[in-house]
Amino acid sequence: MYNPLSKKAEEFIHHEEIMDTLAYAEKNKSNAALIDEILNKARERKGLTHREAAVLLDCDIEEKNQEMYALAEQIKKDFYGNRIVIFAPLYLSNYCINGCTYCPYHRKNKTIARKKLSQKDIEREVIALQDMGHKRLAIESGEDPKNNPIEYILESIDTIYGIKHKNGAIRRVNVNIAATTVENYRKLRDAGIGTYILFQETYHKESYLQLHPTGPKHDYDYHTEAMDRAMAGGIDDVGLGVLFGLDKYRYEFTGLLMHAEHLEAVFGVGPHTISVPRLCPADDIDVADFKNSLDDDIFAKVVACIRIAVPYTGMIVSTRESQKSRERVLHLGISQISGGSRTSVGGYCEPEPAYENSAQFDISDTRTLDEVIRWLMEMDYIPSFCTACYREGRTGDRFMSLCKSGKILNCCHPNALMTLQEYLSDYASEETKRLGEALIAKEVEHIPSAKIKEIAKRNLQAIAEGNQRDFRF
């Protein structure tokens, strides 16, 4: 039976409930009165149930769809303003014992170059990332208890936090590693990680079992219940995601929201972030083998509907998406993007020769971080390198209650400007710096509290004139 409070995967991601929801959405896709009712509820900015959101996703009334997009954009502005948080992935190792059929790191792939960074290599990679201007990383690793045991991950996190090169520092390390035990999650918590990220890949159990034919990841229940174990291990911020294109997007969308509802019901706090990767080409992977790819219009609608359904959850899009696609979904709800990314192991220090591909996927947006920052500012977004909440202990329910109270706007905005000023002073090209300083001068006036505005101005000046860094509210 469907039960969001249950700890069993098959009860909180309940197949019949998803199928009923999809049938209900299909039946009501032209029901203007119901869609109006749902949109009115969404305007209260308290979120929607998976059933309500599924109706919006299916809605085939053009005028209502336009209302939906406008609302998603407005909710995005209300909660996130025009700030976009920047991060980069760091691939530690592509050794993996799993058999995921859509990932080039799968065990049987003999053509990919297998690599694992030593602590010295990590130091070099992190210095390269700091020299680009990054402050927030997501570390990635395949599942391999022999090559990538938890001790290796913990040591790597320690190394990353320990590197202080010039004015650089990595201030938040998010971790994307395979589902593990409560004990290991506790170790990750103690190592000071930010968000624990684990993509479900697909919520459809039958497809999941076929797509993961071998290795520990084959265990659907263990994988699906991982976030419960992470939270039991004391990790407050968890990041969900599916790989769109593996199964039908309507099924994945509903499962994703049910997973968010489950976390909220059991732990009183929903996911910190939701990622929306789409399947893309890679070594040994041909996307044509997968029949469920979604086009750009549907992708944009999925983003808008998630934004409306879970207004307080950050949304992430990576460089899997092209510049054009990223531009479109930024308006509709995305609050975090990666920039200047390399998806190969060791790729920040030295670009790989073509014969030695170790990348997890082909990047669509290949611009440098400086180009991405400039592009965002040209569209009037404020690129933010802020990591303040995590470092001030504002995680989990403390973060969510602050976010829901709306007070976070007095933190996020000045923090974004101060971290952007750090970037401009230390790493930006002349043109980016010129644009950025004009943007900061304009945006600083929008800080609501007069007292915070005055402090922010003082800090901005100190950053620009000297080597003082890491101010935060």
408 scored as a contact of ligand SF4 (CB under 6 A): yes
Tell me the backbone φ, ψ of residue 273, rounded to 5 degrees. Answer: -140, 160
Q: Which stretch binds ligand SF4 (CB under 6 A): 32-40, 302-310, 386-394, 439-447?
A: 386-394
**Quick check: 105 binds ligand SF4 (CB under 6 A)?**
yes
Q: Would you say 338 or 384 has its CB closer to ligand SF4?
A: 384
User: Does the protein bind ligand SF4 through residue 387 (CB under 6 A)?
Assistant: yes
Among residues 106, 187, 229, 374, the one that binds ligand SF4 under rule CB under 6 A: 106
Binding pattern for the stretch 337-376 against ligand SF4, x by CB under 6 A and - elsewhere: ----------------------------------------
The mark string for 34-73 relative to ligand SF4 (x by CB under 6 A, - otherwise) is ----------------------------------------
User: For ligand SF4, which residue of 240, 412, 424, 456 counts as binding (CB under 6 A)?
Assistant: 412
Instruction: For the CB of residue 99, give the shortest distance to ligand SF4 in the complex, in Å.
Output: 7
Q: How far apart are the first and last CA of the chain?
A: 46
Q: How far is CA 461 from CA 51, 370, 449, in A?
A: 50, 22, 18
Q: Which backbone phi and psi does 149 adopt, to 5 degrees?
A: -65, 170
Two tokens at 7?
A: 């700890």
Q: Taking CB under 6 A as the rule, does residue 117 contact ligand SF4?
A: no
Choose one: 32-40, 229-237, 361-369, 380-388; the region binding ligand SF4 (CB under 6 A): 380-388
Residues 172-211 that bind ligand SF4 (CB under 6 A): 178
Nearest distance, CB of residue 82 and ligand SF4, angstroms: 12
Distance CA 196, CA 186 (A): 11
- Partner residues linked to 173 by β-bridges: 137
Nearer to ligand SF4, 4 or 277 (CB): 277
16-24, 102-110, 230-238, 371-379 -> range binding ligand SF4 (CB under 6 A): 102-110
Three-class SS state of 227: helix
Measuring CA to CA, how many Å separate 403 from each of 122, 197, 306, 329? Answer: 34, 20, 17, 22
Q: Residue 259 in contact with residue 13, Cβ under 8 Å?
A: yes
Rounded CA-CA distance 80/312 in Å is 9
Closest contact distance (angstroms) between CB of 404 and ligand SF4 is: 12
**CB under 6 A: which stretch of 103-111, 257-265, 301-309, 455-463 binds ligand SF4?**
103-111
Q: In the complex, what is the shortest distance from the CB of residue 416 to ligand SF4, in angstroms, rounded to a whole number?
A: 6
28 near 35, Cβ under 8 Å? yes
Q: Which stretch binds ligand SF4 (CB under 6 A): 17-25, 60-68, 338-346, 404-412?
A: 404-412
Give the DSSP letter of residue 84.
E
In the bound state with ligand SF4, the residue whose beta carbon lies nearer, of 90 and 408, is 408
- Using CB under 6 A, which of 100, 309, 310, 424 touches ligand SF4? 100
Would you count residue 98 as binding ligand SF4 (CB under 6 A)?
yes
Nearer to ligand SF4, 159 or 343 (CB): 343
Residue pair 240/274 in contact by the 8 Å Cβ criterion: yes
For residue 188, give Cα distances in angstroms to 127, 176, 313, 457: 23, 11, 22, 37
Compute the distance between CA of residue 137 and CA of residue 124 in angstroms, rounded to an integer.
Answer: 14
Nearest CA among 35, 47, 41 for reference residue 403: 47
Contacts 24+ apart (CB under 8 A), 459-466: 459/414, 459/418, 460/417, 460/418, 460/421, 463/418, 463/421, 463/422, 463/425, 464/421, 464/424, 464/425, 464/437
Toward ligand SF4, which CB reaches closer, 17 or 144? 144
Amino acid, res. 425? S
Out of 157, 276, 389, 400, the residue judged to bind ligand SF4 by CB under 6 A: 389
We find the least distance from the C-beta atom of residue 454 to ligand SF4, in angstroms, to be 18
Tokens standing for residue 434: 């010129």
Residues 126-165 that bind ligand SF4 (CB under 6 A): 142-143
Least separation in angstroms between CB 172 and ligand SF4: 8
Interface positions with ligand SF4 (CB under 6 A): 85, 96, 98, 100, 103, 105-106, 142-143, 178, 217, 384, 386-389, 408, 411-412, 415
